[in-house]
Structure 1
């Protein structure tokens, strides 16, 4: 069994750390601009044009199968980057590869018009964009000192709501010019990748370790999950996110069939309002709690409390399926989720099994976020159909989030 890597990591010069962190935020933002504009606006429009009658089923098929790429790519690319050799270092080339591949895939996706073509195109986009979005986590592990991990996680995480908001707006603005929209997204993400590669350039001595065969790499990845604290952190994230994504899978349908909305408030408008409230308090939770966890040096405590807050907010509609309860739950969920995102990544960086395998192990850990997103809608459908409808769904989701908080407790090496 391996032991967690020690800190601090190799860091940039003191004066360059703020620039590095700001560039990480900008890079993540460009990634989520591309993802959100596509999946929220552009891709559904393309699917509806390709299959007007079966658009819901077809869209679920396209996004569900393509999500496999977001699960499989991070650990593979992470492992390859750990062993990359050359004058550009381990991580820098992968920002360039990912940026070029994502730009090409986005332009290709914009030119497709059949459901099969859109599935292939979105699969390629999902795989390509997750190259850079995973490698940036390895840069945090390599370059950011432990006293700034919460701040780094906060800035990385803020790219999600900021990029999501910009992406939704940009997609809606350009929805009548699909190919142009994808070309602009490609340019934006490629520019972000190039800037990230320049700012995060590595110094001499960052060459990768000796390459291993695929079988040896797979065995090493499985072995890393035997590291006690890393395994508990992985399990905690996977179970917590499974509960969260299950409860949110059918939010529009729940607002239509279960939640008691005020007269005149359409379910779609209610969903948009809740999303805005959640995003606002998510950003607040990130901005406040990430740096506070750094200051107090208490990451485990913050992850535990935020998981409990998510569990409570998830189960609230069972006791009171009203609009006012939904608004309160959105506030609590936003604060809890924002805190979790800003601190959990810092925690896992501190319990990685081995520094030389940080890219691979962070990629494996990324599965604990992406895999629940893939399976949650299917499990949620079974729960709604067989365990008491939406109340059963919220109970199960809340219990899973609660179990996720319990799994944080056995972690020993982080307070």
Structure 2
């Protein structure tokens, strides 16, 4: 494998190479890969990691959980653009993306096993930092595969298929994480499944590179220094900012679901918070699947991706703030339905939208790597900020207000995107 300047010939889709297999098989592998990846992430963030933090520091669990996830933002922010830029310039018989997908699968398994061994807050911080860095290698590269190998008129479908893997994976991970009492065993199982899915996707996303390829090597400092160059494009920058702020509001609340159910929501007698969380995620997932299936193909047909992103973002905003009305289990399930439909529609359309506003096709891996930060960074930054809001600004009601306002601002920012090609 070599890393070159990456300025080679392009095919009709704007990719450097051609697909070696049918589109249906690739989409199926993308779905399974997202299921495996988000099962691991969902189980960790929703059940396993909060339980580990609570066992390590029962009194300071909120601040400790915020610290563990907040510091990990460094890995989540830095890895996607770096790996994206390197994959743009990777050359070999396996193409540009497949080697990195495979590397990410192996590294993620090792990081998850290490996290399962940790029992102190410091150890959990190190373990989760490594997981965030490694799992985002493949999850970022997956978006570049869409830009490389999926025709533009099928990207809504690709986003729908890939987007469905997020709720299915999160549901499977949350339910399995709540049932497996050994953190080490759970993390190991999730890591093995993710590695298997990585191998499958690497095989099916292998490119047959075409065109003249430069053998000139580009210094790493030059590649990394240009990582954020795509944000100079106005529409791309607004799409990035809209996603980042909306997700920050959403994850500021959802990251504390287990603690909210334990300390704030009035649950029915006999319903354990972990069981309530599994049921809530199930309801949300069913709703999310409905939103995902409907929105992606409909946005392709109507060619109104921006409108669908706006409406779905507003639905997420409502779901985040809804617990303010009443801290009841019924209200929590209603929020799960509204948020599920909205979040599903958002996932199925937003990814397709950004592929239509990319600044340059030859740097799609780099720019989509940066865009992936807008999904990952809020997931790890939000718990840190949320813990400060709960501790110092008025408890969980203040958290719902803060999350709702952030989600609303993020939703309205998409209106600043003008040109969708």
Cα distance in 1 between the residues matched to 2:305 and 2:379: 24
- 1:224: which partner in 2? 230
Question: In angstroms, what is the RMSD of aligned CA positions?
Answer: 3.2
Deviation at 1:19, TM superposition (A): 0.7
- 2:197: which partner in 1? 192
Map 1:15-26 to 2 at 5 A. Answer: 16-26=22-32
Map 1:77-96 to 2 at 5 A. Answer: 77-96=83-102
Corresponding position: 1:124 with 2:130: yes
Q: 1:237 to 1:117 in 2, by over 3 A?
A: same
- 1:310: which partner in 2? 316
Q: Report Cα offsets for 1:22-49 as digits up to 9, x if no partner.
A: 1111111122233334445555565566
Deviation at 1:394, TM superposition (A): 2.7
Deviation at 1:379, TM superposition (A): 3.2
Cα distance in 1 between the residues matched to 2:260 and 2:58: 24
Q: Report Cα offsets for 1:230-282 as digits up to 9, x if no partner.
A: 01101111111122122334445555665565666665554443332222211
Question: Secondary structure of the equivalent of 2:414?
Answer: coil
* Equivalent pair of 1:82/1:209 in contact (CA under 8 Å): no
Q: 1:48 to 1:198 in 2, by over 3 A?
A: same
* Equivalent pair of 1:7/1:350 in contact (CA under 8 Å): no
Q: Report Cα offsets for 1:143-194 as digits up to 9, x if no partner.
A: 1111111111122122222222333344455434x55544433332222111
Q: 1:172 to 1:208 in 2, by over 3 A?
A: farther
More displaced stretch, 389-398 vs 67-76: 389-398
Cα distance in 1 between the residues matched to 2:255 and 2:184: 29
Cα distance in 2 between the residues matched to 1:412 and 1:144: 24
Corresponding position: 1:68 with 2:69: no
Q: How many residues align?
A: 410
Deviation at 1:199, TM superposition (A): 0.7
Map 1:274-313 to 2 at 5 A. Answer: 274-313=280-319
More displaced stretch, 238-247 vs 324-333: 324-333
Deviation at 1:141, TM superposition (A): 0.7
- 1:239: which partner in 2? 245
Cα distance in 2 between the residues matched to 1:208 and 1:237: 35
* Equivalent pair of 1:9/1:144 in contact (CA under 8 Å): no
TM-score of the superposition, structure 1-length normalised?
A: 0.86
Question: Secondary structure of the equivalent of 2:105?
Answer: helix
Cα distance in 1 between the residues matched to 2:401 and 2:53: 34
- 2:4: which partner in 1? none
Question: Secondary structure of the equivalent of 1:408?
Answer: helix
Cα distance in 1 between the residues matched to 2:273 and 2:287: 21
Map 1:356-375 to 2 at 5 A. Answer: 356-375=362-381
Q: 1:172 to 1:411 in 2, by over 3 A?
A: closer
More displaced stretch, 184-193 vs 127-136: 184-193
Question: Secondary structure of the equivalent of 1:19?
Answer: helix
Corresponding position: 1:30 with 2:61: no
Cα distance in 1 between the residues matched to 2:331 and 2:58: 36
* Equivalent pair of 1:42/1:175 in contact (CA under 8 Å): no
Cα distance in 2 between the residues matched to 1:226 and 1:246: 28
Question: Secondary structure of the equivalent of 1:225?
Answer: helix
What are structure 2's unaligned runs of at least 5 residues?
Answer: 1-9
Deviation at 1:218, TM superposition (A): 4.4
Q: Report Cα offsets for 1:350-376 as digits up to 9, x if no partner.
A: 111111111111111112122222332
- 1:144: which partner in 2? 150
Cα distance in 1 between the residues matched to 2:46 and 2:395: 27
Corresponding position: 1:336 with 2:366: no
Cα distance in 1 between the residues matched to 2:228 and 2:416: 20
- 2:103: which partner in 1? 97
Q: Report Cα offsets for 1:188-246 as digits up to 9, x if no partner.
A: 22221111111111002276895544453344333311201101101111111122122
TM-score of the superposition, structure 2-length normalised?
A: 0.85
What are structure 1's unaligned runs of at least 5 residues?
Answer: none
Q: Report Cα offsets for 1:50-105 as digits up to 9, x if no partner.
A: 66776665554433323432222111111111111222221111112112222233
